[in-house]
Amino acid sequence: MDSEKPDVLIVGAGFAGMYAVHRFRELGLSIKVLEAGSDVGGTWFWNRYPGARCDVPSLEYSFGFSAELEQEWHWPEVFSAQPEILNYANHIADKFDLRRDIQFNTRVSRVEYLDEENLWSLTSEAGEVFKAKFCIMATGCLSVPNKPDIPGDEDFAGLKLHTGLWPKESIDLAGKRVGIIGTGSSAVQAIPELAKAAGHLTVFQRTPVYTVPANRKAMRDAVESEFKENYRLIRERQWNNRGGVSNFRPNRSVPSKSKRGMGGGRRGDAGLIKSISPEQRQAMIDQRGLEVILNFTDVYTDPGANEIANDLFRSTVREMIDDAEVAEKLLPQDYGLGCKRQVLDRDYYSTFNRDNVTLVDLKQTPIERITPNGLTTEDTEYDLDVLIYATGFDAMTGALLKLNITGRDGRQLTDKWEFGPVAYLGLQMEGFPNLFTVTGPGSPSVLCNMLVAIEQHVNWIGDCIKYLDGKGLNSIEPLPESEQRWVQQVNKVADGTMFTAPSCNSWYLGANIEGKPRIFMPYVGGFPQYRVHCEAETDEGYPGFSVV
Ligand code: FAD
Ligand code: NAP
């Protein structure tokens, strides 16, 4: 073991990089992790905005690799807030002594394959160079904040923030005039909290969101105990559920029939929305809440059923908003439920009934520019002390493309992905030997409980490296035909879903970033189906790869 030249270099110390350290150590490999932040946690280190929280139950959004960890950790709420998830990450780092292999405050800016030496060379922004035979990109799917180029941004005299780069220090908003741009998941979580803390909050909305109330329960001891007693069963079910969640219900261990498994608020299959009368639909909403409309399976495949659900959603929201004009602005009209990642909220709509909240519809009056005093739309000037960008991320490919990766024979990843990401199983790219991506494009990743997806990927990569080492092999990369076949498969399973409807413009499709190719990036065929492909490669000696 050469401490100067480890077996494996890993970029990123979010949950993916953290688990990789632990797993690879178990396999006897030496590791070095390079992380831009000053500590572990990734998403949960950077996204400290008020209201940030998980939309997968925390007992499920947790690692399964250590029974001891499962048993000793206590989640105070069913869906944990960011500070608790970051505490969990820190606990893991302490418990498994991970930090000794992580170099913090180190942003990698160049990655190059040295053909002669069969080594990867990574250069940090500070000019430090690191080399290893294997390189793992644990750089995250949602780790590059998107900040739109709005004229005048640099002139703003107040405090500018981005939800995905929120400072550690607490920010006193009392009496302040706060503006927030965006109404996606981050904004929907932040807006109710900001409205409570600020003097006045102005919400600049371009596209209204479909959001349903989140479960806001404190953890009950009995629920936690039953989960902990059944964790082996729960993990098995997660691995056999298309969204990586077990749907385990305490005192009701029969798994729900949820088809999607993820997307927040879904509580199993409610049948077909088209097969019941308008009165029955309304009765279900009255009894079970608005979120029940997410549970009809035809909503995601049949445009007619989707429109019924969209209408029901709109009529329910109209009833929640005092001002009819504000209500109309809040209603999504030009895309359907199921196109974007489902958003969950706590008091989102009721926040717009507060006296200190103003909604600005940017479709009616677009932003003209940011000024030293605030923000100007086509018809109004808004004076602001604080301006918050809740404008999302350059998702899935952003962090990888920023790394300036050069592969075999000088090939650039930016060229290879000019028309969208091309990768085999979201794990490796042809032309980039011994370089692996954790939850890369073409894998279930963001359509799955990410901790489950991360464990599966890290295990697969670890097994692959041990296989190569065990056989004295130099390198592995996908065959071009495997990669092409897989990209076609990823597109095929996404076709015909609401995710790829012509009216849909989501970050899954890269549509939130100007100039980004419109390609559906995650694998929507389900986690178990995906695993079959990965396991076949491992079991059959990697037939889809070129192993040298
Ligand atoms: P990340 O946590 O993004 O970590 C990547 C790390 O790589 C970062 O620390 C980053 O600094 C580092 N890095 C990137 N590029 C470089 C570089 N060039 N040099 C050095 N370091 C670099 N998923 C769910 O399953 N359920 C949820 O409820 C959920 N909620 C979310 C809420 C928010 C606000 C966000 C933004 C995401 C959420 N996600 C959720 C997705 C979340 O990203 C994953 O669950 C998970 O935390 C990803 O872990 P990761 O290690 O793969 O990536
Ligand atoms: P997002 O969903 O991409 O939302 C970004 C918002 O900013 C959208 O409303 C978008 O409007 C708006 N926007 C972008 N550019 C703009 C511009 N130039 N002018 C005006 N508005 C602009 O990003 P996000 O809310 O950060 O969420 C990203 C993902 O992170 C989520 O989908 C989810 O996977 C994850 N997340 C999860 C949770 C959770 O509940 N666990 C919470 C936060 C984030 P348009 O739609 O018009 O582009």
Each residue of 391-445: pLDDT tens digit?
999 999 999 999 999 999 999 999 999 999 999 999 999 999 999 999 999 999 9
The answer to whether residue 24 sits within a structural domain is yes
450, 452, 461: which to mutate for ligand 1, most atoms within 8 A of CB? 450
pLDDT at residue 179 tops 80:
yes
pLDDT at residue 75 tops 90:
yes
Query: Based on the domain organization, do 162 and 112 belong to the same domain?
Result: no
pLDDT at residue 463 tops 80:
yes
Q: How far is the CA of 43 from the centre of ligand 1 (A)?
A: 4
The whole-number average pLDDT for the span 384-396 is 98
Instruction: Give the Cα separation of 12 and 107 in Å (integer).
Output: 9
Q: What confidence score (pLDDT) does residue 267 get?
A: 46
pLDDT band at 535 (very low <50, low <70, confident <90, very high): very high
Q: Note the ligand closest to the C-alpha atom of 110.
A: 1
Q: How much is the CA Rg of the chain, to the nearest whole Å?
A: 23
pLDDT band at 249 (very low <50, low <70, confident <90, very high): confident
- What is the helix (H) or strand (E) element at residue 491, kind and residue range? helix 480-494
Ligand 2 atom with the shortest distance to the CA of 446 = 34
Which of 374, 389, 404 is where one domain is finished?
Answer: 389
The residue range of the domain holding 339 is 153-213+304-389
Query: Based on the domain organization, do 183 and 331 belong to the same domain?
Result: yes
Q: Reduce the DSSP state of residue 494 to 3 states and report it.
A: helix
Give the number of other Cβ atoms within 10 Å of residue 422's Cβ: 21
Please list, in sequence order, all residues whose beta carbon lies within 8 angstroms of the beta carbon of residue 315, skipping any fewer than 6 positions away: none
The CA-to-CA distance between both ends of the chain, in Å, stands at 23
CB 304 within 8 A of CB 260: no
Q: Give the residue, by CA position, lying nearest to ligand 1 atom 29.
A: 54
Instruction: Give the Cα separation of 282 and 190 in Å (integer).
Output: 30
Least confident segment among 179-193, 292-306, 440-454, 521-535 = 292-306
pLDDT at residue 358 tops 50:
yes
Q: What confidence score (pLDDT) does residue 130 get?
A: 98
Query: Based on the domain organization, do 31 and 127 belong to the same domain?
Result: yes
The answer to whether residue 268 sits within a structural domain is no
Q: What confidence score (pLDDT) does residue 258 get?
A: 42
Q: How far is the CA of 183 from the centre of ligand 2 (A)?
A: 6
Q: What confidence score (pLDDT) does residue 3 get?
A: 45
Query: Based on the domain organization, do 93 and 157 belong to the same domain?
Result: no
Query: Based on the domain organization, do 370 and 457 belong to the same domain?
Result: no
pLDDT at residue 499 tops 90:
yes
Residue with tokens 């491992």: 538
pLDDT digits (tens, 9 = 90+) for 102-122: 999 999 999 999 999 999 999
Q: What confidence score (pLDDT) does residue 178 get?
A: 98
Query: Based on the domain organization, do 31 and 81 belong to the same domain?
Result: yes
CA count, 13 A, side-chain hemisphere, 539: 6
Query: Based on the domain organization, do 434 and 411 belong to the same domain?
Result: yes
The answer to whether residue 220 sits within a structural domain is no
CB 44 within 8 A of CB 85: yes
Which of 389, 405, 420 is where one domain is finished?
Answer: 389
Ligand 2 atom with the shortest distance to the CA of 344 = 40
Q: What confidence score (pLDDT) does residue 254 get?
A: 41
Q: What confidence score (pLDDT) does residue 270 get?
A: 72
Token pair recorded at residue 417: 């992905």
Say how many domains are in the chain: 2
The answer to whether residue 134 sits within a structural domain is yes
pLDDT at residue 260 tops 50:
no
Q: Percentages helix, strand, coil for the chain, rounded to the nearest 5?
A: 35, 20, 45
Instruction: Give the Cα separation of 65 and 457 in Å (integer).
Output: 13
Q: How far is the CA of 333 from the centre of ligand 2 (A)?
A: 17
The whole-number average pLDDT for the span 256-269 is 45
Q: How far is the CA of 45 from the centre of ligand 1 (A)?
A: 9
Q: Note the ligand closest to the C-alpha atom of 144.
A: 1
Summary mean pLDDT of the chain: 95
Percentage of residues in the chain having pLDDT higher than 90: 93
pLDDT digits (tens, 9 = 90+) for 400-409: 999 999 999 9
Q: What confidence score (pLDDT) does residue 253 get?
A: 44
Ligand 2 atom with the shortest distance to the CA of 55 = 41
| Residue 118 backbone class (left: φ over 0; alpha: ψ -120 to 50; beta: rest) | left
80, 142, 435, 448: which to mutate for ligand 1, most atoms within 8 A of CB? 142
The answer to whether residue 193 sits within a structural domain is yes
The answer to whether residue 111 sits within a structural domain is yes
Token pair recorded at residue 367: 């932003």
The answer to whether residue 168 sits within a structural domain is yes
103, 139, 144: which to mutate for ligand 1, most atoms within 8 A of CB? 139
Query: Based on the domain organization, do 326 and 403 belong to the same domain?
Result: no
Instruction: Give the Cα separation of 455 and 143 in Å (integer).
Output: 19
**Closest by CA position to 54, among listed 234, 167, 223, 186:** 186
Query: Based on the domain organization, do 126 and 168 belong to the same domain?
Result: no
Ligand 2 atom with the shortest distance to the CA of 187 = 25
Q: What confidence score (pLDDT) does residue 2 get?
A: 44
Q: Give the residue, by CA position, lying nearest to ligand 2 atom 2.
A: 184
Q: How far is the CA of 278 from the centre of ligand 1 (A)?
A: 41
pLDDT digits (tens, 9 = 90+) for 500-511: 999 999 999 999
Q: How far is the CA of 331 from the centre of ligand 1 (A)?
A: 30
The DSSP output letter for 510 is T
Query: Based on the domain organization, do 75 and 32 belong to the same domain?
Result: yes
CATH code of the domain containing 491: 3.50.50.60
**Closest by CA position to 298, among listed 264, 247, 337, 327:** 337
The whole-number average pLDDT for the span 513-540 is 97
Residue 144 beta carbon below 6 angstroms from any ligand 1 atom: no
Q: E-assigned strands of 434-479?
A: 435-437, 476-478
The answer to whether residue 266 sits within a structural domain is no
The whole-number average pLDDT for the span 12-34 is 98
Instruction: Give the Cα separation of 505 and 515 in Å (integer).
Output: 13
Q: How far is the CA of 44 from the centre of ligand 1 (A)?
A: 7
Residue 60 sits at φ, ψ, to 5 deg, of -95, -35
Residue 13 beta carbon below 6 angstroms from any ligand 1 atom: yes
Instruction: Give the Cα separation of 160 and 183 in Å (integer).
Output: 17
pLDDT digits (tens, 9 = 90+) for 45-71: 999 999 999 999 999 999 999 999 999
Q: What confidence score (pLDDT) does residue 534 get?
A: 98
Residue 36 beta carbon below 6 angstroms from any ligand 1 atom: yes
In this structure, the residues whose C-beta lies within 6 A of any atom of ligand 2 are 54-55, 142, 148, 163, 181-187, 189, 206-207, 341, 344, 362, 390-393, 446, 507, 512
Q: Give the residue, by CA position, lying nearest to ligand 1 atom 31.
A: 54
Ligand 1 atom with the shortest distance to the CA of 54 = 28
pLDDT band at 496 (very low <50, low <70, confident <90, very high): confident
The whole-number average pLDDT for the span 229-240 is 97
**Closest by CA position to 389, among listed 228, 150, 111, 117:** 150
Q: What confidence score (pLDDT) does residue 268 get?
A: 58
pLDDT band at 252 (very low <50, low <70, confident <90, very high): low
The whole-number average pLDDT for the span 73-90 is 97
Query: Based on the domain organization, do 129 and 200 belong to the same domain?
Result: no
Ligand 1 atom with the shortest distance to the CA of 450 = 25
Q: How far is the CA of 371 from the centre of ligand 1 (A)?
A: 32
Which of 389, 414, 433 is where one domain is finished?
Answer: 389
Q: How far is the CA of 399 from the centre of ligand 1 (A)?
A: 10
pLDDT at residue 269 tops 80:
no
Q: How far is the CA of 377 from the centre of ligand 2 (A)?
A: 20
Token pair recorded at residue 44: 């949960």
Query: Based on the domain organization, do 506 and 431 belong to the same domain?
Result: yes
pLDDT band at 216 (very low <50, low <70, confident <90, very high): confident
